[in-house]
C-alpha cells in the first residue's frame, strides 16, 4: 500500500460510517463480508482534511482504472449509493468493488474477497472530478 493505510477525507469518512451503520451491511452474505472488511479497514484509516488528500487517492466520484489478475482492465467511477448507474460504470461504495477501492491509490494492489472468490486487482489510474463530495451529498 503506497501510503501505509487507507486515506479518507473527513466528510467522506463520516458519511461512510453512517451508511455502513444504517445499511445493515447488505442483503447477501458475500457483499456483507466485503462491507464488514471495509468497516474494519476504516478503523485504521488516516482521516484527513480535503486539502490534504493526495490526488491519486480513490474517493467519492474518483474515476478509476483497475486491472484484474486475468489481465482484464475495467474503468469505473466510485459514487455514493444513490448515484450508482451500472450503464455508466458508476459503482456504489456499498458494492464489493466499491468497498474494495475506497481510500487506496494508484499502483496499489488489493486482495479482496469478491462474490466470485478472492482476487487481486491493481489500481493503474485514478483521476478526480472537480468536487469529490459536496455538503448536499451528506444527506442519507
User: For the chain, which domains are there?
Assistant: 7-129 (3.10.50.30)
pLDDT tens column, 61-72: 999 999 999 899
Read off the pTM: 0.86
- Cβ neighbours for 135, distance < 8 A, ≥ 6 positions apart: 11
Which grid coordinates are listed for 125?
A: 489510474
For residue 13, what pLDDT band results from cuts at 50, 70 and 90? very high
As a whole number of angstroms, the distance between CA 36 and CA 23 comes to 11
Amino acid at each position: 500500500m503506497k501510503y501505509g493505510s487507507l486515506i479518507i477525507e473527513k466528510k467522506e469518512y463520516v458519511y461512510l460510517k453512517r451508511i455502513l451503520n444504517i445499511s445493515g451491511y447488505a442483503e447477501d452474505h458475500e457483499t456483507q463480508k466485503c462491507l464488514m472488511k471495509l468497516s474494519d479497514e476504516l478503523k485504521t484509516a488516516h482521516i484527513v482534511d480535503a486539502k490534504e488528500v493526495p490526488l491519486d487517492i480513490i474517493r467519492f466520484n474518483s474515476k478509476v482504472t483497475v486491472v484484474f489478475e486475468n489481465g482484464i482492465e475495467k474503468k469505473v467511477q466510485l459514487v455514493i449509493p444513490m448515484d450508482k448507474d451500472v450503464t455508466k460504470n458508476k459503482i456504489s461504495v456499498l458494492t464489493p468493488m466499491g468497498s474494495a477501492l475506497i481510500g487506496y491509490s494508484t499502483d496499489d494492489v488489493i486482495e479482496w474477497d469478491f462474490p466470485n472468490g478472492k482476487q487481486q486487482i491493481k489500481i493503474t489510474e485514478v483521476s478526480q472530478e472537480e468536487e469529490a463530495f459536496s455538503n448536499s451529498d451528506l444527506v442519507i
